Structure 1
Amino acid sequence: MEGNYWNHNTAFHNELIADAKLRGGRILDIGCGDGLLVQRLAPFASQVMGIDPDQTALELAQRRLAAISNVTLMNDDFLALPVPIQEERYATIVCVATLHHMDLRSALLRMSQFLSPGGRLLIIGLAEDKSILDLIISGGLLLPIRIMDRLHGGMGNPNVRIAAPKESIREIRQVTNEILPGAKVRRRFYYRYLLSWDNPLV
C-alpha cells in the first residue's frame, strides 16, 4: 500500500483489523488522521466512515482514499455529531490515540450510542503516569520499546495533532466501568492500553 509507515499506533492496526473483520458491516474510525487505518479496514467492511476535526489530516486522508468506493470521510468533531438511527450505527468502532483529545466520559457515552447491538468498541489509548506503579511499568518498558523501534527502522510520524493524556489508567478504568459495564481496559506495549467493549444484543 502507498504511504505505509510504522509507529506506536500503527503497531496495533493488524489486531484491530482482524477483530473488525469478524463482524464486517459498517466501521467507524474516530480520529482517522491521514486515513491509513481506514484504508486497511476498507477491504473487510461494507462501509468505513473516518472522522477527524483536523482539516490538514483529512486532506491527506482524501488523497490516500480517493480511489476506494466504500469510504466516507468527515471533517468534524465526533462529540458534536447527532446520534444515528439504529440502521446507521456501526458494527465496529475503532479509536486509536484519540480518546485523550476528548472529554473521557462524554466520548465513551457517545461511542456507545453509535455502536450497533452486538457491535464492538476498540480503543487504543494513552494514559498519564500518576502512580508509582505507572512509573515503574513505563520505566521497565523503555529499553524493550527502544529495541522494537530500531527493529522496525524507526517511527514514522505523520503531521497530526498531539496532546498529552490527562487521566491515569486507573481513572480510565473507573469511568469506563460506569459508562460501559463489562468493558475491559488492559495495559499494552508501547505505552498504550486497549479498551474493548461489546454492546449487548438486547
Structure 2
Amino acid sequence: MEIYWNHNTAFHEELVDNAKLRGGRVLDIGCGDGLLLQRLAPFAGQVVGIDPDSQAIERARTRLAAVSNVTLVNGDFLTMPIPSHKERFSTVICVATLHHMDLRSALLKMKQVLAPGGRLLIIGLAADKSMLDFILSGLLLLPIRIMDRAHGGMRDPNVRIAEPKESITEIRRTVHEILPGAIVRRRFYYRYLISWDKPTDIH
C-alpha cells in the first residue's frame, strides 16, 4: 500500500524516533490503515494497533501482511482489557484520535496501559474557542498551505472524522490533573503534542 503525507503523518518520524529509544511493546490507538505501525515495527519488539473502524483494520491487515511483530485489534480502546503488568506498553501513541473519545476516560485508560517508565505521546486536535486560538489558527493558514504544496498536497485515507470539542486550555487543564508533569504544547498543522513519562513507582 502507498505511503502518503498529511497533517497527521507529518509527525510520524518524530514519534518513531521517540518510540525506538525504548523499543519493547508499542500501542497505536486509532491506528487506521496501519501506516504508523508499519514505520514503528522495525524498532519495537511488538506493535499493537487498535481501531474501531473494521474497514480501516482490513486495510491495515493488507499493509502489514508481511510484518511478523504486529497485532491488530478491531475494537474500542476504552473497552480494551487492561494488560497484565508484564504486557503493558513501553510507548503509547495516539494520533488525531483523542478527540473521538471522552477526554478524561481516554487519558485515564492510557495511563493504565502504559508501563512504569514508559512514555505517552499524543498528537491531537483542539477546538478554537478563545481569541488567541482563532488568531493563531489564522496566522498559520498561509504557511501551512505552503507546506502542504511542498509535500505534494494533503492526502487522507478514508477514516472517520470528528470535530474536536475541547480547547487547548481545557485539554491542558485535564491533562495536568490526570498526568502530573505532562508537557502540552501547540504544534504546527493545527495540532498539539502531549508527552508524559509514567513514573517508575506507579503501577
Tell me how many residue pairs correspond in the alignment.
Answer: 201
Runs of 5+ unmatched residues, structure 1: none
Q: What is aligned with 1:175?
A: 174
Mapped partners of 1:182, 1:82: distance in 2: 26
Aligned-pair distance for 1:112? 0.3
Q: What is aligned with 2:37?
A: 38
Runs of 5+ unmatched residues, structure 2: none
Aligned-pair distance for 1:82? 1.6
Q: What is aligned with 1:129?
A: 128
Q: What is aligned with 2:55?
A: 56
Question: What is the Cα-based RMSD across aligned positions, in Å?
Answer: 0.5
- 1:11-41 alpha-carbon deviations (Å, 9 max, x no partner): 0000000000100000000000000000000
Q: What is aligned with 1:113?
A: 112
Mapped partners of 2:155, 2:128: distance in 1: 24
Task: Please tell me whether residue 199 in structure 1 is matched to residue 193 in structure 2.
Answer: no
Q: What is aligned with 1:81?
A: 80
Q: What is aligned with 1:26?
A: 25
Aligned-pair distance for 1:50? 0.3
Q: What is aligned with 1:162?
A: 161
The one-letter code of the counterpart of 2:115 is: S
Mapped partners of 1:193, 1:139: distance in 2: 16
The one-letter code of the counterpart of 2:110 is: M
Aligned-pair distance for 1:47? 0.1
| Structure 1 residue ranges (4+ consecutive) displaced by more than 6 angstroms after TM superposition | none
Q: What is aligned with 1:152?
A: 151
Task: State the TM-score, normalizing by the size of structure 1.
Answer: 0.99
The one-letter code of the counterpart of 2:166 is: E
Task: State the TM-score, normalizing by the size of structure 2.
Answer: 0.98
Mapped partners of 1:157, 1:26: distance in 2: 27
Aligned-pair distance for 1:85? 1.1
